[in-house]
Amino acid sequence: MWERLKQQMVKALETYLEGGELKVPEAGLQIWQWFLELAATRSYHAGGPNPISFAEIEAWARLKRWPLEPRHVEAIRALDAAWLAHIHRQFEKQRPTKPAKSFSPGAFDAVFG
């Protein structure tokens, strides 16, 4: 039962991210809200977003006093993985197809001495 709910939540997120209607299963609404709160605090690096770490989930749960179980963490991480996969696909679509022009050795020497 739990695995099915997790899959339904991930499918709802993927459908929404692709432009469809958001239909989160009622049984997963609390976990969905937890994911949204954690995702709002996400850190980023030069290549894009970082995944939500176990440490962040644990600290957030402690501060909010939510008694998370391993299955809750699995669902949050599955939602995060689906979100990250979508973001990375978007980055790939935006990546230039032509390689960037490089400096010739003479131009490099002229700029950097």
Structural Rg of the chain based on CA atoms: 20
Q: Which percentage of the chain shows pLDDT scores above 90? A: 72
Structure tokens at 25: 């299963």
Q: What is the pLDDT of residues 47-99, one digit of tens each?
A: 889 999 999 999 999 999 999 999 999 999 999 999 999 999 988 877 766 66
Distance, CA of 27 to CA of 70 (rounded, Å): 17
pLDDT of residue 26: 94
Q: Which percentage of the chain shows pLDDT scores above 70? A: 90
Give me the mean pLDDT over the 16-25 stretch: 94
pLDDT of residue 57: 96
Residue located via tokens 């644990």: 58
Other Cβ atoms closer than 10 A to 30: 11
Helix (H) or strand (E) holding 93: helix 70-94
